[in-house]
Amino acid sequence: MPITILQPSLAPPPKLRNVDSDSDSEGGADLEGDVAMGRPAKRARTQDSSIMTPGEIITDDPQWMRGHGTYIIPGASSNTILSSVAGTLAKTNKLLSVRPLRARYTPEIGDLVVGRIVEVQAKRWRVDVGGTLLAQLPLSAINLPGGIQRRRTETDELQIRTFFSEGELLVAEVQQLYNDGAAVLHTRSLKYGKLRNGVFMSVTGTGGGGGVVRARRQAFTLDISGTDEVSGSEKIDVLLGVNGYIWISKHIEGEGAAAETSGPGITRIEESVGLNVYSSQNDIIPVDTMREIARVRGVITALVENGLRVDEEMVIKGYAEAVEMAKEERDSADTLWLGGERGKRLANALVGR
C-alpha cells in the first residue's frame, strides 16, 4: 500500500477550566479550618449539560424510583438517588436510570447475538457473546441435523463436538436470563446456527458513540449487483449481532438468518434443516463477492470510527455511498480502504454534513 501523508490539522483550543486563577486563588487545598466534613457536598452543576457522573446527586425527591445506573446510600434514611455511571439520564414514568456513555453488552431476552464457542462441556457449550459473563447454549437448545425431533441422548453428548467445537462462530437468540445476568441461548430456528462463508468483526457494544443498536431487523441481505464489476446477482448477508459482533457472509438461497420470511414453518423443519448445517467447510466464494464483503466491513468500521450508529439503514446507505466512491476513483488501486479521510468523507456524506 502506498504511504499517504496526511496534512496536519490544528489541535482544538484547550478549554479553560479555572478562569478565576487570580493571584488570590488558594490553589488545590485550603487549610483555613473549613475542611467540609460529613455528607457529600451538593455540587452545583456548573455546566448546563445533562451528563451525569458517578457520585452525582440526581434527586432527593422521594417520589422517584431508582433504576439502572443509580444507587442510594445504603443505611441512610434519605431518599437521595445518586448516579453510579457516567451517562445521560432517562426517565420512564417515575423510574430514573442513567444510560452509560459506554458499557459492555448486557443481554436481554430475544436479542440476536453472534457468539464464539469458548468451552465445550458435557451437555452444553459456553459462548462468548461479549457480555460480562459467558453465555451458555444447552445441547437441548439446538436443531439436530436433518431436523429430527427427539430427546438428546448420551450418544449426542458424546458427539457434542460434531455440532459446535471450540472457536466456532454461531448466531443465536437469547432465550433466558439468570439472576446474575448470564444468558442462555438457543438456535432452534432456521435463522440460527453455525456461521461459515464470511468474515467476523466486532464493534464496541451498546452505547458509546455508535455501535450496533437494537433494531427491528438485525439481519438483512445486501444486493451487490450494483457494482458493475460483479457479474450476475450476487448477494451478501449481514448479521448485526446486538452484542456488537458482526458477521458478513456470502448469501446462499434459502439459508442464513435473512431467509426468515421465506422459510418454511416449524412443522416442515425436517425437510429444510439440511444434513450439512453443522458443516465447517466454506463454499467456493467468488473473488468479487469477497471484495464486496471486505467493502461492507470497511463501511461498518468507518461508521464506528466516526461515531455513527450501525443499523440496517446506515449500512445499506453507507455501502451504496462506498460503491459510488469506488466508481469515482476507478483509477486508484485501493478503493476498499475506508479509514482516515475516506472514512470521514463517507460518514459526512451519510449524515449530510
User: Which CB contacts under 8 angstroms, 24+ apart, belong to 204-208?
Assistant: 204/102, 204/244, 204/304, 205/103, 205/104, 205/105, 205/130, 205/243, 205/244, 206/103, 206/105, 206/106, 206/242, 206/244, 207/87, 207/99, 207/100, 207/101, 207/102, 207/103, 208/100, 208/101, 208/102, 208/103
d(CA 131, CA 135): 8
- Smallest separation (angstroms) from another protein to the CB of 144: 28
- Applying CB under 8 A, which part among 200-208, 263-271, 282-290, 310-318 lies near another protein? 200-208
Q: Which three cell numbers stand for residue 197?
A: 462463508
- Residue 177 lies near another protein (rule: CB under 8 A): no
Mask of contacts with another protein, 202-241, x by CB under 8 A? Answer: --x--xxxx-------------------------------
How do 211-212 and 309-310 pair as beta strands?
A: parallel
- Residue 100 lies near another protein (rule: CB under 8 A): yes
**Contact call for residues 232 and 253 (beta carbons, < 8 A):** no
- Smallest separation (angstroms) from another protein to the CB of 143: 27
- Smallest separation (angstroms) from another protein to the CB of 313: 15
**Contact call for residues 41 and 57 (beta carbons, < 8 A):** no
- Smallest separation (angstroms) from another protein to the CB of 56: 8
Site for another protein in 2-61 (CB under 8 A): 15, 17, 26-31, 35-41, 43, 47, 49-55, 58-59, 61
Mask of contacts with another protein, 236-275, x by CB under 8 A? Answer: ----------------------------------------
Which residues of this chain interact with another protein, rule CB under 8 A? 15, 17, 26-31, 35-41, 43, 47, 49-55, 58-59, 61, 63-64, 69, 71, 74, 82, 84-91, 96, 99-104, 131-134, 180-182, 204, 207-210, 305, 307-308, 351
